[in-house]
């Protein structure tokens, strides 16, 4: 039986993911204990299916939220529960089987080695990746690196990463944003501002077609508008913090 970690847990926010969620959770449980799933008001029956899985697996916990609030809000709910139970770090991953569960042990080991940092997955794309998505993320990555004075963010959008619980929870409690698709990039920028250093590790990513069971809630117009507004906010915050960031860069040189 796999040892139970008392410091690091896997946290999977999930909203209407289709059948791929069961594959995701089984794979995560193969590589880590415990695994928590935050069902964010799903209406596709996956919440009930996951609860049935958890009934036979002490290493799996399923928390069902009554209504859909957004990815960031689901993660925050999980962070608060993790903090209450004494966990210091969470590894977040998507519920649609795109993220590599077999990389969980390596990412957790890197976090244990550098607990003050955040371990960020840098996606390694294969032929399944939509070209527009691959090219579009370069824009967000450029802005995220500018907003942190090139602190070392390998990828701002990839949600497979290990966060320190307390700094992230405090950041999220302190402002109203980061509750939806804007969560991942804003989290790394604000954590960098707080002095949490990124540790980058490669991670393969797989995009599934609809006929393979893939489900995507990404909407180009809506979500790119959300990212544009997010980077506008962050750039203003960057300008206000620029003296502090420059001083920190000088001290670390």
Whether the per-residue pLDDT at 236 is higher than 90: the answer is: yes
State percent of the chain over pLDDT 90: 77
Predicted pLDDT of residue 1: 64
Three-class HEC string of 113-127: HCCCCEEEEEEEECC
Domain assignment of residue 101, yes or no: yes
Q: Rounded to whole angstroms, how far apart are CA atoms 190 and 115?
A: 17
**Residue linked to tokens 């796999």:** 2
> Burial, 159: exposed, middle or buried (Cβ in 10 Å; 0-12, 13-18, 19+)?
buried
The pLDDT tens digits for 127-164 are: 777 766 677 788 889 999 999 999 999 999 999 999 99
Q: Indicate whether 173 pLDDT > 90.
A: yes
The residue whose two tokens read 């590589």 is 31
pLDDT value for 250: 85
Task: Let me know if residue 190 belongs to a domain.
Answer: yes
In a domain, 2, yes or no: no
pLDDT at 8 over 90: yes
Query: What's the CATH number where 16 sits?
Result: 3.90.550.10
Maximum mean pLDDT: which of 36-50, 120-134, 172-186, 215-229: 36-50
For the chain, the average pLDDT equals 91
- The confidence band for 223, taking pLDDT boundaries of 50, 70 and 90, is low
1 belongs to a structural domain: no
pLDDT at 211 over 70: no
What's the rounded Cα separation, in Å, for the pair 91 and 193?
20
CB atoms within 10 A of CB 69: 18
Residue 95 in any domain: the answer is yes
Rounded Cα gap, residues 186 and 166, in angstroms: 16
Residue 3 lies in a domain: no
Domain that holds residue 79: 8-252
Residue 235 pLDDT more than 90?
Answer: yes
| Position 221 pLDDT exceeds 80 | no
- For residue 158, being part of any structural domain is answered with yes
Reading the block at residue 248, the tokens are 């920190």
Torsion of CA 6, 10, 11, 14, to 10 degrees: -150
**Count: domains in the chain:** 1
| 171 within some domain | yes
Confidence of residue 2 (pLDDT cuts 50, 70, 90): confident
Which residues lie across from 120 on neighbouring strands? Answer: 161, 200
Residue 196: phi, psi to the nearest 5?
A: -80, 120
Give a three-class secondary structure readout of the chain.
CCCCCCCEEEEEEECCCCCHHHHHHHHHHHHCCCEEEEEECCCCCHHHHHHHHHHCCCCEEEEEECCCCCHHHHHHHHHHHHHHCCCCEEEECCCCCCCCHHHHHHHHHHHHHCCCCEEEEEEEECCCCCHHHHHHHHHHHHHHHHHCCCCCCCCCCCCCEEEEHHHHHHHHHCCCCCCCCCHHHHHHHHHHHCCCCEEEEEEEECCCCHHHCCCCCCCHHHHHHHHHHHHHHHHHHHHHHHHHHHHHHHHHC
* Residue, of 216 and 235, whose pLDDT is higher: 235
Confidence band of 210 (pLDDT split at 50, 70, 90): low
Rounded mean pLDDT of 200-221? Answer: 72
> pTM score > 0.85 for this model?
yes
């Amino acid at each position: 039986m796999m040892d139970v970690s008392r410091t690091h847990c896997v946290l999977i926010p999930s909203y209407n993911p289709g059948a791929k969620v069961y594959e995701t959770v089984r794979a995560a449980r193969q590589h880590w204990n415990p695994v928590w799933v935050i069902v964010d008001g799903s209406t596709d029956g996956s919440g009930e299916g996951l609860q049935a899985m958890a009934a036979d697996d002490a290493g799996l916990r399923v928390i069902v939220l009554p209504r859909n609030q957004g990815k960031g809000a689901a993660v925050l709910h999980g962070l608060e529960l993790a903090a209450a139970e004494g966990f210091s770090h969470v590894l977040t991953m998507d519920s649609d089987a795109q993220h590599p569960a077999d990389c969980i042990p390596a990412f957790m080991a890197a976090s244990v080695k550098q607990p003050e940092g955040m371990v960020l997955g840098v996606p390694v794309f294969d032929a399944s990746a939509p070209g527009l998505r691959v090219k579009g993320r370069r824009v967000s990555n450029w802005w995220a690196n500018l907003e942190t004075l090139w602190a070392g963010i390998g990828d701002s959008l990839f949600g497979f990463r290990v966060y320190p619980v307390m700094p992230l929870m405090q950041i999220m409690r302190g402002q109203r944003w980061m509750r939806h698709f804007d969560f991942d990039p804003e989290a790394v920028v604000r954590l960098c501002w707080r002095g949490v250093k990124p540790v980058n590790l490669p991670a393969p990513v797989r995009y599934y077609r609809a006929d393979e069971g893939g489900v995507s809630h990404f909407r180009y117009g809506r979500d790119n508008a959300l990212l544009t507004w997010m980077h506008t906010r962050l750039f203003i915050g960057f300008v206000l913090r620029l003296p502090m960031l420059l001083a920190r860069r000088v001290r670390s040189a």
